[in-house]
Structure 1
């Protein structure tokens, strides 16, 4: 008779409370000796959660069971096998019993070689999962109650606020609040989340300001003094940073962009232009001249860091130069019409764009999935520790809320990236769209042109008045 001693531990807290690998191992070996079982093998999963069976030692154990190398499986406690009723029953019925392998649990005194042991197994498996579900429900209910009272529900503090432990309230941080207000202002003036991200990243050092974070900030009601709760928006007791009217205007603008409607702005390329010299924003300016009692005016695109009053300048002025608005816009529209006429040129651009984006997306997706795995593992370890009585739920509730919030953000980011991965039919669809826009360009109104151009172009980078603009295409 060969007995498999399966041992699992998932947290450092368990080790401190006598749940260590060595403690389990010692007790199981003593039990084997008391039963006269001299032939045993150890299968140890160190640091693996009990909410799934995708663990190295467990896989090896199941393989050895299939190979008829094991006749019985012994664990210290039922939840060492798994915390899910479904997994426990699947292991017992589909793997152990199918191969005539009995199962024993030292703590619960379960022996599936007896009818009573089989009956007890099902009952205890139900309680193992019920206990876990109740922990999650208690934490979720506590969070809902805090939101109903207008209090911050926990997790990472939103940018623009700090947390006062004494009053249990969010407090406005003036320096950060000014940046939040400018982010909303830039968004409502036609700037993309990418350009706002670059602007904010140059001014914020204590946290990342990626474009998806900017997008999430725009959508969060916390900035108008409210919270999301069960699909509804409820009042908070904290001070608002953004007034109701501005916040609602930003939501309308966000919906317009999702629907393909142009952002606010008077000019064709408003919000799309960036400086190739310093990475700053591009603004539109007019110059007037007098000749023979006549006034002439010219329109230019120029870097905001160059076209700034000296007293307002915080850094050295950019030297990009003034590019004629008509020349820049003509170049962009000519490119749109050109790639619609020449399929080979379009294919070259499409392959270059998708290759860069796919490589970037694959790397980012891999990083996000790694982060998600770590967060999920941390959460499962905390739930395990609470269930085992090693720590109190109240001691880690804020930590759990923070991790749950992080997980939700990362899951949304992963969904966004997956949606951006081009399918096989995207090339033809993109070509058809560009061709249609190019053919109908002369018949579009100014608003229609602005809407159309934003469907196929992410940004236009300027490299001085004599430099060739670089178009970043949005072709899938």
Structure 2
């Protein structure tokens, strides 16, 4: 029998010293597991090791390789110190330990908590382990959030790096001090704007002098290690200047919590309402004097006029530069409105991409729409040539499979509750243990029922979209005789538009419209 050893060490283990606790090092785990495998007479296929990764992280590199190799049946056994070293998520316990591993002929063994998928009576224990580990993740997340919230409310800086213009104080945790080299650039930006220079003009001046933008500056200083990926990512942009000019951190106020995590199971963040931000005044030395800040603030408010009063711009968020992929920025000269690539004006070496008037883009989109619809209506391809129905069916099947999974787990929880009751009646379980386990299974059952209800809602939403898709011919026909685009039409019909560079010695600007149908 070939055994694959999996080890994991996370930041939470660093301070643990007792051997009874999680291992204080990867080496301790490896030694224990290798010795155990030798005692069992198993051949060691390989050692998979993730250092400094949480048990809820599904993208651990060695963990992903382990699963890929398990699917290829390269070994017979996965050996861990504890089940939580493999995962702390109950969902993954069910998916792999009780689902895919038996299909692949893989046995899972963890030696400290005695989890073994070859032992049938061991399943409840593994599920309880998974449930306890799931609660551990949630409780740890709540505790961390509570600590971070308290520190933010008290004006301590929380973050991997400091705002451009500042650096972390090596003598005082959570405190910022001025980085004079970057602070000089910040002062210059505010001063130039107060003198009447526009944001794009300021960006271009900095780029022409070769001043690295905030991200590139931190990369050169070794503060961040990630390599640059996107074209022109080292350049100053309009929005970089705009964000800087309205950031209260530069007058000594700590402002944090602009984004919040969606869930403890994902690293994705979403914007938070301004009233939920953490704002504490006078926490660090200001780079910008209050008088200059107020002057810039007044100038920003005076210039901040909506593109079209009371409405969203016609192509807002829909038009992109075909060369660099950035969303086009709107502009206005007297009564003439246009869209331009944000990289076009920030540097002579930038992409020099898209530039088109709104009226011209509207005209080209309307021409394309009429041509497309006429072809579709003539050939009835509007219904025959579009594969939305298949995609909707795939989505519905995926949700339906999840519903079956949740329904099965709810049934398992009900059976487990009945089994626990019988064990308590027979005296196998004490009343205290019975109550604890019953409470645990009841909470998990409730969570599964909530997930099942969410799936039902998703099915209804997909069916609504499918119904709307069946009426897409009517949707397009609704707009076919319209002479001008409206924002409603753009939202309904267009996913996005790629706008290219003007063809030399002509007025023609190539566009590609990506429709929603």
The normalised TM-score by structure 1 is 0.47
The normalised TM-score by structure 2 is 0.44
Per chain length, whose mean CA-contact separation is higher, i.e. which structure has more relative contact order (CA < 8 Å, sep 6+)? 1
Bigger share in helix: 1
